[in-house]
């Protein structure tokens, strides 16, 4: 049973076309939810951490929000350089310090 | 501040051999975690080291082991390599504070087992 599910698996946008990526999770207790960006052949790049429902964080064209069951990564007026795989990960309240990752959303922004 | 570095970046090994990968965390970070990334399984947690002690372990066989040195640098070892061990191995460092857990990843080591 997947604990972290990301949708859609792939998304193709035109430059300037805003959209949202979804990360839903089914864990007993959430200590933190993380968003990363990964370019081909590279390690994930840290974007945001969200610790409690209702929290929002922004960075340039990206805005992450968190509810008790899911997180959204909103991309406003994307540019081709935003093309990447976006990963979300959860840190569960089990006393175990390990992130559980979703399978990611591959975003392609066309000029 | 320099980021997480991993060496080597690429490695080709034969089935049955063993391999050692190295990771240097961000200066001041005391926690180092290792992950395996494959197209089929995605990113999976291997283990975490803090102050030279393994603090957490994922669901991987005993062929996967690691250690951490007093300067926080970490090594991961895989013995008796199998074809299925071909993957991108990622190291991530964090401050290790109990309340926060931002992890910063290195570029990874691409291991190919033939």
- What torsion, rounded to 10 degrees, do the Cα atoms B23, B28, B31, B37 define? -40
Contact A34 B103 (CB under 8 A): yes
Question: Chain A, 76-95: which have a CB under 8 Å from a chain B CB?
Answer: 87, 89, 91
Contact B42 A32 (CB under 8 A): no
For A50-58, what is the mean pLDDT? Answer: 94
Size of interface A-B (CB pairs under 8 A): 56
Q: Which residues, 6+ apart, have CB-to-CB distance to B76 below 8 Å?
A: B20, B21, B23, B34, B46, B64, B65, B66, B89, B91
What mean pLDDT is reported for chain B?
Answer: 93
Cα Rg of chain B, angstroms: 13
Task: Tell which residue, B5, B22, B2, has the closest CA to residue B111.
Answer: B22
| pLDDT in the model for residue A30 | 87
Nearest chain B alpha carbon to A35 = B102
| pLDDT in the model for residue A28 | 79
Tokens of A2: 């997947």
Q: Is A49 on the interface with B (CB under 8 A)?
A: yes
Q: Answer yes or no: are the C-beta atoms of B5 and B71 closer than 8 Å.
A: no
Contact A32 B100 (CB under 8 A): yes
Q: Is A5 on the interface with B (CB under 8 A)?
A: no
pLDDT at residue A97 greater than cutoff 80: no
Contact A99 B105 (CB under 8 A): no
For A40-59, what is the mean pLDDT? Answer: 94
Contact B48 A100 (CB under 8 A): no
Q: Specify the 3-state DSSP secondary structure of B109.
A: strand
Residues of A in contact with B35 (CB under 8 A): 101
Residues of B in contact with A46 (CB under 8 A): 102-105
For B63-86, what is the mean pLDDT? Answer: 97
User: How far apart (Å, rounded) are the C-alpha atoms in residues A83 and A101?
Assistant: 19
Confidence of residue B98 (pLDDT cuts 50, 70, 90): low
For A86-91, what is the mean pLDDT? Answer: 95
């Amino acid at each position: 049973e997947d604990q972290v599910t990301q949708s859609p698996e792939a998304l193709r946008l035109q430059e300037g076309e805003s959209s949202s990526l979804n990360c839903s999770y089914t864990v007993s207790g959430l200590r933190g939810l993380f968003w990363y960006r990964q370019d081909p052949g590279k390690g994930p790049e840290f974007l945001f951490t969200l610790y409690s429902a209702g929290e929002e964080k922004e960075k340039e064209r990206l805005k992450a929000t968190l509810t008790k069951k899911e997180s959204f990564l909103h991309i406003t007026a994307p540019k081709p350089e935003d093309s990447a795989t976006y990963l979300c990960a959860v840190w569960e309240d089990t006393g175990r310090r390990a992130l559980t990752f979703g399978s990611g959303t591959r975003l392609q922004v066309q000029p | 501040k320099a980021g997480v570095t991993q060496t080597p970046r690429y490695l080709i090994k034969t089935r049955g051999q063993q391999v050692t990968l190295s990771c240097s965390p961000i200066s001041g970070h005391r926690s180092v975690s290792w992950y395996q990334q494959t197209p089929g399984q995605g990113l999976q947690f291997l283990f975490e080291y803090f102050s030279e002690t393994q603090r957490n372990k994922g669901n991987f066989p005993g062929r996967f082991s690691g250690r951490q040195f007093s300067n926080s640098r970490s090594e991961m070892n895989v013995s008796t390599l199998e074809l299925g061990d071909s993957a991108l191995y990622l190291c991530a460092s964090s401050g290790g504070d109990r309340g926060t857990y931002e992890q910063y990843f290195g570029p990874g080591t691409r291991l190919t087992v033939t």
